[in-house]
Amino acid sequence: KAGVTQTPRYLIKTRGQQVTLSCSPISGHRSVSWYQQTPGQGLQFLFEYFSETQRNKGNFPGRFSGRQFSNSRSEMNVSTLELGDSALYLCASSLVSRGDTEAFFGQGTRLTVV
Amino acid sequence: GQQVMQIPQYQHVQEGEDFTTYCNSSTTLSNIQWYKQRPGGHPVFLIQLVKSGEVKKQKRLTFQFGEAKKNSSLHITATQTTDVGTYFCAGPLSSASKIIFGSGTRLSIRP
- Per-residue confidence of chain A (114 residues) as pLDDT tens digits? 679 999 999 999 999 999 999 999 999 999 999 999 998 778 999 999 999 999 888 889 999 999 999 999 999 999 999 999 999 999 999 987 777 788 999 999 999 999
The pLDDT score that the predictor gives to residue B93 is: 63
Contact (CB<8Å) B101/A42? yes
Q: Is the pLDDT of residue B2 over 70?
A: no
Closest Cα in chain B to A110: B40
- Among B23, B88, B99, B101, the residue to mutate for chain A (most A Cβ within 10 A): B99
How far is residue A95 from each of residues A33, A36, A76, A101, B16, measured CA to CA in Å?
A: 11, 21, 20, 7, 38
Asked if residue B84 has pLDDT above 70, the reply is yes
Instruction: Identify the pLDDT of residue B95.
Output: 53
pLDDT value for A2 = 79
Q: Does A55 touch chain B (CB under 8 A)?
A: yes
Write down the pLDDT at residue A1: 63
Q: pLDDT class for B32, splitting at 50, 70, 90?
A: very high
Q: Is the pLDDT reported for residue B100 higher than 90?
A: no
Average pLDDT for B11-31: 95
> Looking at the complex, does the CB of residue A25 fall below 8 Å from at least one CB of chain B?
no
**Residue A27: strand pairing partners:** none
* Region B88-102 average pLDDT: 78
Instruction: Report residue B50's pLDDT band, with 50, 70 and 90 as the boundaries.
Output: very high
B31 and A105 in contact by Cβ < 8 A? Answer: no
CA distance B83 to B61: 10
Q: How far is B108 from chain A (nearest CA, A)?
A: 16
CA A26 to chain centre: 14
Q: Which residues of B touch A39 (CB under 8 A)?
A: none
| pLDDT at B94 exceeding the cut of 80 | no
Tell me how far the alpha carbon of residue B20 is from its chain's centroid. 9
C-beta atoms of B98 and A55 within 8 A: yes
**Does B30 reach chain A within 8 Å, measured CB to CB?**
yes
- C-beta atoms surrounding A13 within 10 Å: 16
Contact between A47 and A32 (Cβ < 8 Å): no
Instruction: State the pLDDT at residue A39.
Output: 82
pLDDT at B1 over 90: no
Contacts of B44 in chain A (CB under 8 A): 105
pLDDT in tens, B51-73: 999 999 999 999 999 999 999 99
Is pLDDT at B81 greater than 80 in this prediction? yes
Nearest alpha carbon to residue B40 among A69, A81, A90: A90
How high does pLDDT run on average in chain B? 92
CB-CB under 8 Å, B98 with A56: yes
